[in-house]
Amino acid sequence: MKQIYLLSLVTLLLLACSKDKDETSPASKGGTKYRVTFDIDWNRTNFPTDYPSSAHFSKLIGWSHEASQTFFKVGSLATAGIKNMAETGATSPLHEEFNALIEKEKGFNYFIGGNLSTGRGSIIIDVEVTEKYPSVTLATMIAPSPDWYIAVVNINLLENNSFVDQKIVDANVYDAGTDNGVTYTSKNEVTSPQHPITLFVDAPLGNGSKLNSTIATVIFKKL
Structure confidence at residue 35 as a pLDDT band (50, 70, 90): very high
- Examine the pLDDT at 107 and tell me if it is beyond 60: yes
- Per residue in 121-164, pLDDT tens? 999 999 999 999 999 999 999 999 999 999 999 999 999 999 99
Look over the chain and give the mean of its residue pLDDT values, rounded to a whole number: 91
CA distance 118 to 151: 17
pLDDT cut 70: percent of the chain above it: 87
- Please check whether residue 142 is in contact with residue 120, taking contact to mean a CB–CB distance below 8 angstroms: no
Q: Which CATH number fits domain 33-222: 2.60.40.2130, 1.10.10.10, 2.40.50.140, 3.40.50.11540?
A: 2.60.40.2130
CA distances to 34, 73, 146, 165 from 124, in Å: 10, 23, 25, 17
Stretch 68-87: mean pLDDT:
98
Task: Give residue 31's pLDDT.
Answer: 86
Tell me how far apart the alpha carbons of residues 84 and 77 are, in angstroms, rounded to a whole number.
13
pLDDT at 46 over 80: yes
Average pLDDT rounded to a whole number, residues 10-38: 60
DSSP string, 141-183: EEES-SSEEEEEEEEE-EETTEE-SEEEEEPEEEE-SSB---S
pLDDT at 92: 98
User: Which residues are CB-neighbours of 64 under 8 A, at least 6 positions away?
Assistant: 107, 108, 109, 110, 111, 127, 128, 129, 130, 133, 134, 135, 136
Of residues 15 and 119, the one with the higher pLDDT is 119
Listed by start position, the domains of the chain span: 33-222
> What is the pTM assigned to this prediction?
0.87
Task: Give the per-residue pLDDT at 17.
Answer: 42
SS3 14: helix
Mean pLDDT over residues 99-125, rounded?
Answer: 98
**Mean pLDDT lowest among 28-42, 91-105, 152-166, 174-188:** 28-42
56 near 143, Cβ under 8 Å?
yes
Contact between 140 and 152 under an 8 Å Cβ cutoff? The reply is no
